[in-house]
Structures are given as structure tokens and as C-alpha cells.
A and B are shown apart, each in its own frame.
Chain A
Amino acid sequence: MKSRRNSLKHTDEELAEAIIFPVKLTTSQKEEAARQLAIARKATQKTISEKDRLILGLLQLKFQMEDYIRNKEFDPEFTFSYFLKQYVELLKVKRKEFAREISIDETLLSQFINQHRMLPEYMAVRLEIHSNNAIPAIYWFKVVEKQKEYELNTNIALRKKERKYVRRKLAIGNEEQ
């Protein structure tokens, strides 16, 4: 379906650089094409090095974090603990070993992974260094910030507790608040 107008004006190289043309296949051609592709992919999957597997895993995690940071909504599934757990699993080392690599106690690492403690800034930086900049510290920081923002916005108990310490409220807005 290479349009005549395009093919007259441009070389094949110029077209390939700018356009992908849709190609119609018959049902049998599609089946054959799918079969050929599956065979080729099976062969290349076997040749993917451990280093490339790790890079692809890190890219997956990084892109997930990027999209989540860009998304305005807080999602309780995507806490820093979730991403940290994914990171440690990618490394295929025991938690104890990973904790040693970033010079923290294994118990502290478990507290981060189980969300019993918020991830401090120094940890975001250590994770950036450990990943050789594959996942920047700012990504960890922003994921934590998003979580803190949500918790602050929805913490009714804290508001109730703190109300008694405020002796005077500005006389603007709704008195019921």
C-alpha cells in the first residue's frame, strides 16, 4: 500500500526512516508469519545474556515508576515497598546479601519492604548508587512523597488529635470544618 505520491517523491530509505506501511496478509499467511516469528523469538530469547535480562528488568521497574510518578492518582498497590521488593527480586540475591551490599541491617531492609518504616533519603541515594544510576534517587523520593501526601490528606485521626492544640481558628470559611 505504498502510496504512489510518496514513492515518487522519496527513496525507499527515506520512506523506511519515516513510515511503516500496513501490509495485508491472508489468514494462512498470518498463521505462517506467526509461526516463523515464534521460532525466531525462541532462538533469540535463549541468547539474551544475564546482563541484558537484568537491564530489561530494571527498565521495566524504572518505566513503571516513571508512569506512576506522572499519574496524579495515588495507588495503594504502588508503594515504595512494592517497588523495593521488585528491585530486590530482580537482583536474584538473598535479602541478607543485598542488605550487606548497601550496608544496612537485614531487619531494617525487612521493615522497608514490609512498610513498617518509610524509606529515608539516604536509602534513595544508596539505591541509586547500587543500581548504577539505572533508577535515580528522585524516583524513590517521589514515590515516597506521593504516599506521604496521600496519608496526610486522608489522616482524620491526626486532625482530631491536633485540633485541641489550636486555640484560635481564622474566621473564614465553613465553621463546621
Chain B
Amino acid sequence: MKILETGSETEKKVIIGLAGPDDFKILTKKRFSFVWKTVKKTTTVYKLQIEGSEDILGVMGLIDWPGEKRIEIRLLASSAENIGRSKIYKGIAGCLIAFACRLAVIRYGVEACVSLVPKTELIGHYMRKYYMQYAGRHLYLDGNNLIKIMEEYL
């Protein structure tokens, strides 16, 4: 799994793993958009780091719905310096979403599904950028779209 350093156009290998108790001390709202200490009570939180670096560049909270063979991305944040035109690294959110897809495929195989409930004004962008399909309040990935996003980011 790789992200792209926008300045040098070089790829950096990243790893994604569970966020530990110490991580929540540095996952501030200022840098990661949300209060992650609260988020960890209701979701499983994963962090993204460049291999060999301690710095966290992205975080994601997942909820598993085994009865529906689905993993929901409840929320996700790239670090503040990696949002917008002047971002340092490109592809953080894509890697995290692809990681959620990987988890879903391991658990649910052909029937795997990843979903999220988007803000209305962002729906079109998620659909274009991350191959998501529309299902009313949910956007979701399954079948061929799961394969596409994993091929692009894993």
C-alpha cells in the first residue's frame, strides 16, 4: 500500500494497524478533525503511518455488521496538512478505504460490502473518486467496485 508525496512525486509505503491507547493522546481534533477518544467507544479505530515512521497521517473508525456481511466506515480523517491543494501526501483516504474493503473481503468473501453514510453535498465526489454506488442514505462498495478500489490502492 502506497501514498504519493506530492512535491517529489515519490511513493511511500504505508502500514495500517489498530490505534493503541497512546495514539489517542495525539489524535487531536485540530489535526484529525474529530474527537477520536469519543469515537473509539463506538468504532474500531485504525491508523495509517508511513513504514518506519511513528507519525500518524490518517485515522478511520469502522463498525462491523456481521449479520449483513458489511463493514461501515463511520468516519475517516486525513491529517490537517494532508487535506486540500497544499497537501503533502496524496491517497491517504483511498488507502484507508481500500483497507476497509480488504477486511470485508477477508471476512465475507464474495458477499463483502463496505458502506458509509455521506454528507449530501459530498455524495457525487465519493462516487467519482472511490467507485461508490448510491443506495439512498448509504453509499456502498461491493463486487467489481471492491475489486477496483483494492487494485488502485492496495
Residues of A whose CB lies within 8 Å of any CB of B are 2-3, 6, 9-23, 25, 29, 32-34, 36-41, 44-45, 47-49, 52-53, 55-57, 59-60, 63-64, 67
Chain B CB within 10 Å, residue with most, of A15, A22, A34, A44: A22
A-B contact count (CB 8 A): 136
Most buried by B among A9, A32, A40: A40
Q: Is B105 an interface residue (CB 8 A)?
A: yes
- Cα separation A29 to B93 with both chains bound (whole Å): 27
Q: How many residues of B contact A (CB 8 A)?
A: 51
What is the minimal beta-carbon distance from B13 to any residue of chain A, in angstroms?
14
* A-contact bits for B23-48, CB 8 A (1 contact / 0 none): 00000000001100001000000000
Interface centre among A17, A25, A34, A57, by most B CB within 10 Å? A17
Q: Given A19-B93, A59-B147, answer yes or no on A39-B135 (Cβ-Cβ < 8 Å).
A: yes
User: In the complex where A19-B77, A57-B110 touch, is A14 in contact with B85 (Cβ < 8 A)?
Assistant: yes
Q: Which residues of B (109-154) have their CB < 8 Å from a CB of A?
A: 109-113, 115-119, 121-122, 125-126, 129, 133-138, 140, 142-144, 146-147, 150
Complex CA–CA separation, A44 to B93 (angstroms) = 25
Determine whether the beta carbon of B119 is less than 8 Å from that of A59: no
Given A20-B76, A59-B105, A13:B133 Cβ within 8 A: no
Residues of A within 8 A of B49 (CB): none
A39 partner residues in chain B, CB cutoff 8 A: 135
List residues of B whose CB falls within 8 A of some A CB: 33-34, 39, 60-61, 68, 70, 73-78, 82-85, 87, 92-93, 102, 105-106, 109-113, 115-119, 121-122, 125-126, 129, 133-138, 140, 142-144, 146-147, 150
Nearest-CB residue, chain B, relative to A48 = B143
Task: State whether B117 touches A25 (Cβ < 8 A).
Answer: yes
- What is the interface of chain B mostly: helix, strand, loop, or mixed? mixed
- Report the Cα distance A29→B105, complex, angstroms: 27
Q: Can you give 13 contacting A-B residue pairs, CB < 8 Å?
A: A9-B84, A10-B83, A13-B125, A15-B83, A18-B77, A18-B92, A18-B93, A19-B93, A21-B75, A25-B117, A34-B68, A53-B110, A59-B150
Given known pairs A9-B84, A21-B75, A63-B105, the reply for A16 and B137 (CB within 8 Å) is: no
In angstroms, Cα B131 to Cα A46, docked, is 18
Contact B126 A60 (CB under 8 A): no
CA distance A25 to B118 in the complex (A): 11
Across the interface, A48 reaches (CB within 8 A) one of B92, B110, B129, namely B110
Hey, which chain A residues are within 8 Å of B68, CB to CB? 34, 38
Asked if A49 and B138 sit within 8 Å, CB to CB, the answer is: no
